[in-house]
Amino acid sequence: MLSASFRLDPAFTVAPVSRRTFGSFVEHMGRCVYTGIYEPGHPTADGDGFREDVLALTRELGVSLVRYPGGNFVSGYRWEDGIGPVSERPVRRDLAWHSLETNEVGIDEFVKWADKAGVEVMYALNLGTRGVQEALDAHEYINQPDRTHLAELRRANGSEKPYGIRMFCLGNELDGPWQTGHKTAAEYGRLAAETARALRSADADLELVAVGSSSSSMPTFAAWEAEVLEHTYDAVDYISAHAYYEPLNGDVASFLASAVDMDHFVDSVVATADSVGARLKSKKRIMVSFDEWNVWRQSDFEASLGNLSSEWRIAPRVIEDRYDVTDAVVVGNLLISLLRHSDRVTAACQAQLVNVIAPIRSEPGGPAWRQTIFHPFAITSRLARGKVLRVEPHGPVYETARFGEVPVVDAVATHDEEAGEISVFVVNRSQDEAVTLSVPLGSFESRTFTVAEAWTLTDDDLSASNTADDPDRVVPVTTEGVVIEDGELRLTLPAVSWSAIRITLQ
């Protein structure tokens, strides 16, 4: 059996845990909105048409923030189509996903849903086919208290108080040729800067997110961030990052190490942003909004694009990936990566919430259930409190085709000093060997440690998944054999597993 160890020390902190790390994403794409969060005829639908079963699972998932309404969708979206009497709202073509948008759900309805779910809204603005004035109009409708035309229109539509949305995305993936309104970095940077300054004239306290690269594999990666930030550095707070992972060509070893790529992505964006700041002689630090990330078998989706474009449909089934055990372990590891970068990644959104590459699945008129990737997200969101601790595992390594030599064990920890709790999150990437893990706790001024809870997600069948007929086929189980002896936490990590342990200090 392999062995690994790392030491926990309350002095070695990264940053406070940001609750916005546990964000999600609702795009008008496929069945995320219609028959996802919203289905008036469903047996669980409330008076506003929202599915109560999906709302309950959203709360259980521990989502803190939701990015809305896109995504690629937003680059052709007219926000005003989604307000006023529903019967009078226009049906529009959505070029991004070759579907029809009924606009039954717009900003007024979505804010109602967000209030019920208990989540903050990150609102994305269209800078693909629109510009400064349209962004100002959306902000006025959303946040202006009263007296102006659009504030009074919102009140006439039933929302007396402004929505108080603080985070706004200045477009989406405009570096990508697939994006409606695709732009060069110079074109986008200037537009984003103009829009940001105009929005700040209306509300100086907004938090604004500039569009970063759609992935680290883009040919313009880093150069895009550098030029965009040259234009926007003093006007924005965040640069976005997007990344999706899949087992390419059956390479499970590299897939299990996907967090290595996420680490490098974040480090590269931070280095680029800081370089721009240095050239501008600015003391400001740009943060990273990792507002799209997940496991997504994009190669399968690209192969099916012909079916998507065959006709214009409402809420077609699009990228409804079924997730297995290995996917859940990778998602747990990506959360570890996000947490250890909490000094610079202070907002993140798993894409998406329901049906579309999502932790929650639902069927029209039928059940909603948790996919395998639901569980590491929900447990991490619940247990990660206080400050993130810097963790440096020592142990075996293995070779991967994509990333070279990588550690078998990856981990992060959080310390809630006020509650007297430590939470440890750890993965074993080995496909065939268990790992004995030892974690010395001697740096904490406590003589009594208790394991309050310990969970492991793994399975002998790594292809196992949850379905409507068998929704609990893959669930976390209580970790066997976890002990604290002589000031040291000890446990065994099964092959291809994700684990979380909460320790109380007395």
What tokens appear for 430 in the block? 């080995």
In 3D space, the residue among 171, 172, 107, 111 whose CA is nearest the CA of residue 138 turns out to be 107
E strands, 365-496, are 368-370, 387-389, 397-400, 404-407, 409-416, 421-428, 435-440, 449-457, 477-478, 483-485, 488-493
- Among candidate residues 173, 194, 227, 246, the one labeled active-site is 173
CA 175 to CA 211: how far, in whole Å? 8
CB atoms within 10 A of CB 391: 23
158 Ramachandran zone, left/alpha/beta (phi>0; psi -120 to 50): left
DSSP 401-421: TTTEEEESEEEEEEEETTTTE
In 3D space, the residue among 204, 206, 224 whose CA is nearest the CA of residue 214 turns out to be 224
Asked if residue 330 lies in contact with residue 258, where contact means CB atoms within 8 angstroms, the answer is yes
292 is catalytic: yes
**Environment class of 412 (CB within 10 Å of its CB; exposed 0-12, middle 13-18, buried 19+):** buried
Contacting residues for 68 by C-beta, under 8 A, at least 6 apart: 25, 26, 27, 110, 114, 121, 122, 123, 124
Which H or E run includes 101? strand 99-101
In 3D space, the residue among 474, 24, 102, 496 whose CA is nearest the CA of residue 290 turns out to be 24
CA 460 to CA 472: how far, in whole Å? 15
Asked if residue 346 lies in contact with residue 18, where contact means CB atoms within 8 angstroms, the answer is yes
CA 425 to CA 11: how far, in whole Å? 19
Q: Around 71, how many Cα atoms within 13 Å sit in the side-chain half-sphere?
A: 26
Asked if residue 416 lies in contact with residue 442, where contact means CB atoms within 8 angstroms, the answer is no
- Looking at residue 19, the DSSP 8-state letter turns out to be G
Match 């997940």 to its residue by tokens: 294
CA 506 to CA 500: how far, in whole Å? 20
What tokens appear for 491 in the block? 């446990």
173 is catalytic: yes
E strands, 157-237, are 167-170, 207-210
3-class secondary-structure state, position 159 = coil
Active-site amino acid positions: 173, 292
